[in-house]
Amino acid sequence: MKTKLLTLAAGLMTATALATVPAKADVKIGLIGGVSGPIAAMAPAMIDAAQLAVQQVNEQGGIGDGEKLVGVVGDSACNPQGGTDAATKAVNIEGVAGIVGPHCSGAVLAAAGSVTIPAGVTLVTPSGTSPEITNLEDNDSVFRTVPSDDYQGRALARTLKDMGYGKVAVAYLNNDYGTGLANAFKTEYVDALGGEITQFAAHEEGKASYRSNLAELAKGGADTLVIFDYGDGTGLTILRQALENGFFEKFVGGDGMKSDAVINELGAENLANFVSSSPVGEKSDSLDIFNEAFKGVGGDPDAIFANTSYDAAFLLALALEKTGGKKEGVGAALREVSNGEGEAIRPGEWQKAKELIAAGTAIDYKGAAGDHNFDAKGDVPGTFALFEVGADGFEVVSEMN
Amino acid sequence: MDLFELLNFYVIPGIVLGSIYALGAVGITLIFAILRYAHLAHGDLATLGAFIALAVVTTLGVSPLAALPVAIIATAAVAVGIDKVFYDHLRERPKIVTVMASLGIALMIRAVVQVVWGVDTETYSRGIVRPENYFGLRIRDREIYTVIAMLALVGVLHVFLTQSKWGKAMRAMSDNPNLALLSGIDNRKVIILTWVIAGGLCAASGFFLGLNTELKSMMGWHMLLPMFAAAILGGVGRVEGAVLGGLIVGIAEELSVLVIPSEYKAAMAFAILLFMLLVRPTGLLKGKVL
Amino acid sequence: MEFLGLVNYALFMAIFIAIYALLALGLNIQWGFAGLFNAGIAGFFAVGAYTSAILTTEAVDGRIGGFDLHFVIGWIGAMIAAALVAWPIGKICLRFRSDYLAIASIGIAEIIRLVIKSEPALTNGARGIPGIPRPMSDIGYMESQVAYLIIVLAVLIAAYVLVERQFNAPWGRMMRAIRDNEDAAKAMGKDVEFRRLEAFIFGAALMGLGGALFAHFNRSITPEAIDPMVATFLVWIMLILGGSGNNRGAILGAAVVWIIWSVSEIATDRLPHEYAIQAKYIRLFLIGLMLQLVLRFRPEGLLPEPLRGDQRSAKGGADH
């Protein structure tokens, strides 16, 4: 049996080796995400959005001399073990020139530390929001199209203060997303702006009842509950139980709460006092263009992080166009195609971008989720908007500063 | 905080949650007593029951409560099937091997649910349901159904165990399997009966959890530790003990937020478990120590 | 795919296999030799990883640390910390019968995970600890993998030799005696409780070391790594398949299971994504099924427990 197993393993590897001999001169990028695991409900839309970018690239001329761009999917399972494994396979077996993902910050840190930084492959994460990613010693190879939690938390705090919200209670999911947002929010709202947070409590996911948590949060008399959690998961349970039991009158969510599941399960009629923030492009029609295109291929543009995923893939493609499909120099190229000077390129305008790059003209990508002017560390400051629930899904209420 | 707040937001949710735990704990305690091992796939069996009910609701369009009997029967059948195909062959081996196998079965059941129903969160019905006000107590209909169903199912089980021939056979096997065999009881039939009951109760447990909150593929696994805590708290082999244990664990979990940081709520059940094992392993109602 | 890519992938797999082999070796001490069902491997893995991280990283506001010690000290610290955590747990839980120990250990891993996530002053909470130094990381990609692999293999071989020697020594015979017939061993005057605790602690120390090696390889450690699936269940399958009671079996099991786990993903990732997700979960189903088949048809695993001198007459050892 031992020899049989070893032969099986050897056979699998050979088959894989043979199967992965690429078609002539494809340019590959890795699409690594939490396909299985805790964010499995969110990952498919994100990967689809990235594939939309790939599809548009190929429809409008491909990379360089018409080479096909291929998005190779990998599963990080949202943990470091899976993240490094997927990244290693992408870099070494598929030979990708860049990676969109991983989705979870822990997987990003691990994949970068063990694979992409040593191997010199650029990584753009569309949803890794941990501030720890900023500090990676990465030779300029780790970027993100989503602002660090620090930004969004503080922007939300400023916006709420401006809109006249008074005492608030904060409930956050006990993971890096929730804690990051909550702490940034608190620092800005209380320390910088003098606001009042009556209760500030973490919760674990997956419990049946959060009524006792809500009762604790309601002590102190705040009329607004700020929820930093996922609308596809525990955030939904908390919002539901708060509405059903009459806790709080107004609700505010981070971008994780801006999810269809909330509208579908709770009903728009019950969400009149619910707003949530989300990263958006700056005063441009980029977001609308993306929404239309994504709806056109059957995707849901409101899906969380769909716009950041699209931007990450499209940006990577633009950078690869500049480097001629090679992985070296992608980091520098990313900055060049996106840093504020040059002809504006919107989502889907691949052909125009190709022509401009070939002519040596500078371009500046204006993405669906923001302008993506990367700072020295590869972070983006991000612009946000506040959304409410309208007749047809989420609608913008106001920009956030 | 006044009395009504305490009741409405801590005690009542605790009782509802406790009833859900109790349904699972009864099954666990029966399996402990009759088959003499810890069934680690119990939680995921509850998940399966909940999702089977969901399938009935979505395909036939009936109300969730009408789907419950179907789910109970189906899950009971699955439980018996799992026993026949997997656990039966390990009967001659040390029990710990079956425990290990049940860990694998838990994974398999969960994977089936994820393949068939996907990984999105589901519910039996859309929209929110505000609780009714009964003299200041805020209770939703479904919460009443949960507690009544639990009491009814356990009541029926109690009558069965004490009055009927097969019930007595089960208790005999729980006390002394060899003697039971000698007195003519067909152990295999008793085992099948045990799985039917355990599977059915699992389905009810998962169903009511889904009814009161949402259905997620990990819902059963997250209940496993509280269900075991409840069974051991009440005393292994004592059905009333499992019910009592379930209610205590449920209420304790909800009350714990008053004293410990809310992120540690999940640790409450485990703390109870550990405490019982150290201080009084026979449980509150003096069950067995296996 | 170039040859270099394949080499790098193989090196990566070898490093992971070696780390998992350490975990399986630790589990073998607890289960294979002392009959203790530890379902909380992830907890000790985490304790080791975080301890080493805290000891070897620079100072950060609001968190203990800043010791900035050499990684070897970090690794030794990891083992000590895991052992220290295992000691009270063992003292409390080992007297329970094995399925109670299983449940208790599941709970303990859960508590450890909660504490790690919720105490930023200790572990930076849910954000994890990045910036962990990795030996020989400044040289090229393949070269640094080779260097790390050599280090990890050295650790693994040292652990293996140590454990093997213990098992062939009177200590090993005594452990097997306790496992197979506790009452007789007690009658012979053996301090069963203490011996069990010893085995539990040694096993935990190895698991902590595995955690530390993992954290230094990735140069970061975050709470999602404490996942029951990849950190506990996978190790169990490795040991059962490889052969519990056999140290070489533990290592072989780690290799076989990890290769299947990682390589099968290459195939499933290529499917169109509706099927890709389902394929992932079918893969989980098959792993669970594999466990059932091994337990039923070949419970001793690929490499059965070797009949040592004292067991020539009875083959009782492998069947437990």
The pLDDT tens digits of the residues spanning A215-254 come to: 889 888 889 999 999 887 889 889 988 988 888 999 999 8
Within 8 A by CB and 6+ apart from B69, the residues are none
Specify the DSSP class assigned to residue A328. Answer: T
Q: C273 and A115 in contact by Cβ < 8 A? A: no
Checking if the pLDDT of C137 tops 80, the result is no
Checking if the pLDDT of B152 tops 90, the result is yes
Checking if the pLDDT of C10 tops 80, the result is yes
Q: A174 and B263 in contact by Cβ < 8 A? A: yes
- Whether the Cβ atoms of residue A374 and residue A335 lie closer than 8 Å to each other: yes
Is C282 part of the contact surface with chain B (CB cutoff 8 Å)? yes
Provide, as residue numbers in chain C, all residues whose Cβ is less than 8 Å from the Cβ of A174: 117-118, 126
Determine, yes or no, domain membership for C258: no
B97 vs C97, C282, C299: nearest CB: C299
Provide, as residue numbers in chain B, all residues whose Cβ is less than 8 Å from the Cβ of C235: none
pLDDT (tens digit per residue) in A87-101: 999 999 999 999 998
Q: Considering chain A, what is the average pLDDT of its residues?
A: 86
Please tell me the predicted confidence (pLDDT) of residue C30: 92
B99 vs C37, C277, C278: nearest CB: C37
User: How many structural domains are present in chain C?
Assistant: 1
Checking if the pLDDT of B228 tops 90, the result is yes
Please tell me the predicted confidence (pLDDT) of residue C267: 79
Chain A: give the shortest CA distance to residue B131, in Å.
7
- How is A36-93 classified by DSSP, letter by letter? SSTTTTTHHHHHHHHHHHHHHHHHTT-BTTTBPEEEEEEE-TTSHHHHHHHHHIIIII
Dihedral, CA of residue A77, residue A80, residue A85 and residue A87, to nearest 10: 90
Confidence band of C217 (pLDDT split at 50, 70, 90): very high
Chain B: give the shortest CA distance to residue C22, in Å.
21
pLDDT (tens digit per residue) in A160-218: 888 888 899 999 998 888 888 899 999 999 988 888 999 999 998 877 788 888 988 98
Provide, as residue numbers in chain B, all residues whose Cβ is less than 8 Å from the Cβ of A236: 121, 214
- Whether the Cβ atoms of residue A142 and residue A378 lie closer than 8 Å to each other: yes
Instruction: Say which CATH class A25-148+287-365 falls into.
Output: alpha beta
Q: A95 and C220 in contact by Cβ < 8 A? A: no
Confidence band of B82 (pLDDT split at 50, 70, 90): very high
pLDDT (tens digit per residue) in B123-136: 888 777 888 888 88
Percent above pLDDT 70 for chain C:
95
Checking if the pLDDT of C320 tops 60, the result is no
Measured from the Cβ of residue B70, the count of other Cβ atoms closer than 10 Å reads 18
CA-to-CA dists, residue A203 to A171, A185, A212, B174, C122, angstroms: 7, 17, 11, 40, 19
Domain ranges of chain A: 25-148+287-365, 150-278+385-400
- Residue pairs spanning A and B at CB distance below 8 A: 106
Is C277 part of the contact surface with chain B (CB cutoff 8 Å)? yes
Percent above pLDDT 90 for chain B:
52
Q: C224 and A78 in contact by Cβ < 8 A? A: yes
Provide, as residue numbers in chain A, all residues whose Cβ is less than 8 Å from the Cβ of C1: 17, 20-22, 92-95
Determine, yes or no, domain membership for C305: no
Please tell me the predicted confidence (pLDDT) of residue A96: 93
Per-residue HEC secondary structure of C220-240 comes to: EECHHHCCHHHHHHHHHHHHH
> Domain spanning A150-278+385-400 has what CATH number?
3.40.50.2300
Q: B115 and C117 in contact by Cβ < 8 A? A: no
Please tell me the predicted confidence (pLDDT) of residue B2: 79
Provide, as residue numbers in chain A, all residues whose Cβ is less than 8 Å from the Cβ of B17: 208-209
Chain C: give the shortest CA distance to residue B89, in Å.
7
Q: Residue B80 corresponds to which tokens in the numbers above?
A: 């018996």
Is B13 part of the contact surface with chain A (CB cutoff 8 Å)? yes
Q: A12 and C223 in contact by Cβ < 8 A? A: no
Stretch 31-60 of chain A: residues touching chain C, C-beta under 8 Å: 35-38, 40, 44, 47-48
Q: B127 and A270 in contact by Cβ < 8 A? A: yes
Checking if the pLDDT of B290 tops 70, the result is no
pLDDT (tens digit per residue) in A44-91: 899 999 999 999 999 998 888 888 999 998 999 898 999 999 999 999
Confidence band of A6 (pLDDT split at 50, 70, 90): low
Selected residue of A78, A92, A130 to mutate for chain C interface (largest C Cβ count, 10 A):
A92
C37 vs B96, B267, B274: nearest CB: B96
Report d(CA C272, CA C257) in Å as an integer: 25
Q: B128 and A40 in contact by Cβ < 8 A? A: no
Q: Which residues pair with A345 in a beta bridge?
A: A365
Q: B115 and C233 in contact by Cβ < 8 A? A: no
- Whether the Cβ atoms of residue C23 and residue C45 lie closer than 8 Å to each other: yes
Q: A243 and B128 in contact by Cβ < 8 A? A: yes
Q: Which helix (H) or strand (E) holds A188?
A: none
Tell me whether the CATH fold assigned to A25-148+287-365 matches the one assigned to A150-278+385-400. Answer: yes
User: What is the span of the domain harbouring residue C163?
Assistant: 9-227
* Mean pLDDT of the region B92-96: 86
Please tell me the predicted confidence (pLDDT) of residue C317: 45
Confidence band of A10 (pLDDT split at 50, 70, 90): low
Confidence band of C316 (pLDDT split at 50, 70, 90): very low
pTM of the model: 0.87
- Give the chains touching B; criterion: ≥3 Cβ pairs < 8 Å: A, C
Chain A: give the shortest CA distance to residue B96, in Å.
25
Q: C320 and B94 in contact by Cβ < 8 A? A: yes
ipTM of the complex: 0.87
Provide, as residue numbers in chain A, all residues whose Cβ is less than 8 Å from the Cβ of C256: 5-6, 9
Checking if the pLDDT of C1 tops 60, the result is no
B9 vs A211, A232, A240: nearest CB: A211
Please tell me whether residue A367 adopts helix, strand or coil conformation: strand
* Mean pLDDT of the region B69-95: 93
Chain B: give the shortest CA distance to residue C289, in Å.
7
Q: Are strands A274-280 and A383-390 parallel, antiparallel or unpaired?
A: antiparallel
> Domain spanning B3-279 has what CATH number?
1.10.3470
pLDDT (tens digit per residue) in A138-171: 888 999 998 888 888 888 898 888 888 889 999 9
CA-closest candidate to residue C113, choices C210, C62, C42: C42
Determine, yes or no, domain membership for C315: no
B127 Rama sector, left if φ>0, alpha if ψ -120 to 50, beta otherwise: left
- Give the chains touching C; criterion: ≥3 Cβ pairs < 8 Å: A, B
Is C271 part of the contact surface with chain B (CB cutoff 8 Å)? no
Q: A110 and C220 in contact by Cβ < 8 A? A: yes
Is B25 part of the contact surface with chain C (CB cutoff 8 Å)? no
Determine, yes or no, domain membership for C191: yes
Within 8 A by CB and 6+ apart from A35, the residues are A43, A44, A47, A73, A75, A76, A77, C273, C276, C277, C280
Q: A207 and B129 in contact by Cβ < 8 A? A: no
Q: C118 and A74 in contact by Cβ < 8 A? A: no
Percent above pLDDT 70 for chain B:
99
Q: Are strands A27-33 and A98-100 parallel, antiparallel or unpaired?
A: parallel
CA-closest candidate to residue A303, choices A11, A26, A52: A52
Checking if the pLDDT of A8 tops 90, the result is no
pLDDT (tens digit per residue) in C30-74: 998 888 899 999 999 999 999 999 998 887 777 777 777 888 888
